[in-house]
Structure 1
Amino acid sequence: MTRITALPLDQAPAGSRAALEGVQKALGFVPNAIKTLAHAPAALNGYLALTQALGKSSLSAAEREVAALATSDVNGCDYCIAAHVFYGEKAGLSKGDIEQARSGELNALAVLARQITESRGHLTDAQIAAAHDAGLTDSKIVEVVAQVTLLTLTNYLNNIADTDVDYPPLAD
């Protein structure tokens, strides 16, 4: 049972309504996670701003989904796993890639995202050196940290709220 209500547009605070309308326009629906974030306009708008900024990072859509899957698996967020399986497939990840991303075995980026999440950011010198040796630049490492941070927000919120999973989205 959901513990924090996913707000429909007409019940959302005024500061969240424009953002919800933008998500509806962009995705064709408003995911329950976004409707739950709508309780706090600052949190919703901050989440969307970071999402938009990371969409312009050097990480490809598939790489962002790999980090999302690895992070969500560690944090045990069923909602985000369902969402990022859906978006990972749209970004070109196979079912095998998705499973390997979740377990942190797909590539250096998946390894790094899992390590960051599992250690709460306390990586060893050897882990950073291994990321560099695998070809991850300092820029990519920082972007993976940002992606993990974004996912940790939604993972924790959805775990606390027990958000109803609405992925894959229903066709209208």
Structure 2
Amino acid sequence: MTQIAPLTLDTADTATAATLKAVKTKLGMVPNMFATLAHAPAALNGYLGLSETLATGRLSAAQREIVALAAGQANRCQYCLSAHTLIGKGAGLSEDAIAAARTGKGANALDDAIAGFTRALVEQRGVVATEALASYRRAGLDDGLILEVIANVALNTLTNYTNHVADTTVDFPVVAV
């Protein structure tokens, strides 16, 4: 049972309702996770701002979805796994690439490093061994990409934890954790 109910356009304050309407215009719906974050407009706006900014980085949309899937699986977030399975398909990931990302793997050396580094960050709470980091670097992660992956993990951890605490109702095709 949901522990923090999502706001609706009718129950949100005027500014937050405008933000949720903008989300609806962009996505065609207001996902429950966004409507739940709307209880804290600073959190919602922070999420949206960081997400928009990270979309201008060097990681492709598909690579950002690899991060989301690897982090979502490591954090066991059914909501995010369900959402990012659908979004990942839209970003060009195949079923095999989605399954691989969830296990911390990728279809090529760089995607494999992104997925593996993501899993290591989450599972090891940001403490990644020097030799592991060297391996990710050899596969193509430079300092900038390392920091982008970290930023994307932070963004996804926000949503993973929000969904765990709120017990957000999944409003995407549900996938098993």
Q: TM-score, normalised by structure 1?
A: 0.95
Deviation at 1:156, TM superposition (A): 0.3
Read off the aligned partner of 2:54 and give its amino acid letter: L
Partner of 1:161: 166
How big is each residue's C-alpha offset from its partner over 1:54-92, in whole Å with a ceiling of 9 and x where there is no partner? 110100000000000000001010000000000000011
Number of residue pairs matched? 169
Deviation at 1:15, TM superposition (A): 3.8
Read off the aligned partner of 1:145 and give its amino acid letter: I
**Aligned sequence identity (%):** 49
Partner of 2:61: 61
Contact kept in structure 2, 1:13 and 1:41, CA below 8 Å: no
Q: Secondary structure at the match of 2:172?
A: coil
User: Equivalent residues in 2 for 1:29-68 (5 A)?
Assistant: 29-68=29-68
Q: Secondary structure at the match of 1:3?
A: coil
Q: Secondary structure at the match of 1:9?
A: coil
Structure 1: give runs of 5+ residues left out of the alignment.
none
Q: Secondary structure at the match of 1:68?
A: helix
Report whether the alignment pairs 1:116 with 2:113.
no
Contact kept in structure 2, 1:64 and 1:147, CA below 8 Å: yes
Q: Secondary structure at the match of 1:122?
A: coil
Read off the aligned partner of 2:140 and give its amino acid letter: G
User: Equivalent residues in 2 for 1:1-172 (5 A)?
Assistant: 1-106=1-106, 107-168=112-173
* Whole-Å separation in 2 of the counterparts to 1:132 and 1:23: 36
Deviation at 1:32, TM superposition (A): 0.2
Contact kept in structure 2, 1:13 and 1:39, CA below 8 Å: no
Read off the aligned partner of 2:149 and give its amino acid letter: V
* Whole-Å separation in 2 of the counterparts to 1:18 and 1:115: 38
Q: Please, what is the CA RMSD of the aligned residues?
A: 1.1
- Runs (4+) of structure 1 moved beyond 3 Å? none
Q: TM-score, normalised by structure 2?
A: 0.93
